[in-house]
Chain A
Amino acid sequence: MSDNAESPTETQKDDPSIQHAATEQTGASDEKKKIDVLLKAVGDAPIMKTKKWSVERGRTVQSLAQFISRFLKLEASEQLFIYVNQSFAPSPDQEVGVLFECFGSDGKLVLHYCKSQAWG
């Protein structure tokens, strides 16, 4: 599953269920198990260098948020907020596959994210 993003980081290696979205179409079985997510920064949130990701349908919002937080190297005291449909925060336990079914368009799920201030 090659891609044109930069080399994998340590965090990516820990998360085989979240991978850079391939520019080429992958096999049919992969397409069913994973959905394409497009991450958009809001406010002063750091912008992900890689915005498009393939995520397993069963992955929860909380798990994805943790992945993004590690990828962006957020401090422990910074909270990541994720929005679907631009202004609705899905429950942390919600599966991204369900969000894709409800809000996906053009084959991808757009998620906006922002972060809170660090303490102090």
Chain B
Amino acid sequence: MMAGERNPASCYLDERTFQLCCQLFLQHSETIQDGWSWEQIKGTDEGFMKKTVLMPVKPSVLHKQHEYSIQDENMVTDDIQANVEDETAGVQAVCEIHAVLRYEYHVLYSCSYQIPVLYFRASTLDGRPLSLEEVWSNVHPNYRQRLQQGPWDTLTQQEHPLLGQPFFMLHPCRTEEFMKPALDLAQAENKRMNYIVTWLSVVGPVLRLDVPLSYSTEVSAPD
């Protein structure tokens, strides 16, 4: 069970529990070198988790913008740049047929919603930020149709609450509908669960963020 401050019927998370869950999550990330890190805001007790990923995508993801008339040339540039930059050695093999995007994911705590929220920014390798349309093109097909047809803006451009830079945000208003069942289930089975592991396993894949299965078994819940 999570500590008594959580109402069993509620899916809300207090900030301290958020931070504890993140620290446990980060320990496992360190173990499997999954690339997550904690960013503490200097002079405060606030912080967030972040991870940067290089992601090959089908070139059609980048066909949704108006400014660039020569799409192919833009993609070829990406390919060539990726080939000469040694630090992206891992993606050279896929550069011939894919474009490569850089996604930076941030897991923040929202005081107003009292739940975690996923922020991210995305760009091509030459630093061009993706448009909202292009980001939508890269939302996982399993979720895209339903989210796009929803009655509110699921993906919005927001100023990062702690950094003040433009990011995209996955709107958290529906968090309860996928967290509550998992929380109720854990409670019924008298098992504790790590809120961040469960939450990220659901929202991550929507935005192409992979959360390895080992998080499910190797990360403990906070006391």
Q: Once the chains bind, are A83 and B149 in contact (CB under 8 Å)?
A: no
**Cβ–Cβ < 8 Å partners of B149 in chain A:** 76-77, 119
Chain A interface residues (CB < 8 Å from chain B): 42-43, 45, 62, 65, 76-79, 81, 83-94, 98-99, 102-103, 112, 114, 116-117, 119-120
- In this assembly, does B180 line the interface, its C-beta being within 8 Å of a C-beta of chain A? yes
Give the contacts of B143-185 with A (CB-CB under 8 A). 143, 145-146, 149-151, 174, 177-178, 180-185
Q: Once the chains bind, are A81 and B213 in contact (CB under 8 Å)?
A: no
Cα of A68 to Cα of B191 in the assembled complex, Å: 27
B154 to chain A, nearest CB (A): 11
Count the B residues whose beta carbon is within 8 Å of the partner chain — how many?
Answer: 34
The DSSP consensus for interface residues of chain A is: loop
**Cβ–Cβ < 8 Å partners of B211 in chain A:** 91
- The interface centre, meaning the residue of A88, A92, A98 with most chain B CB atoms within 10 A of its CB, is A88
Q: Once the chains bind, are B178 and A114 in contact (CB under 8 Å)?
A: yes
**Cβ–Cβ < 8 Å partners of B145 in chain A:** 76
Q: Once the chains bind, are B205 and A89 in contact (CB under 8 Å)?
A: yes
**Cβ–Cβ < 8 Å partners of B204 in chain A:** 91
Q: Once the chains bind, are B193 and A87 in contact (CB under 8 Å)?
A: yes
Q: In chain B, what residue has the closest Cβ to A83?
A: B182
Cα of A90 to Cα of B217 in the assembled complex, Å: 13
A12 to chain B, nearest CB (A): 21
Stretch from B19-27, B102-110, B195-203 forming part of the interface with A = B195-203
Q: Once the chains bind, are B146 and A87 in contact (CB under 8 Å)?
A: no
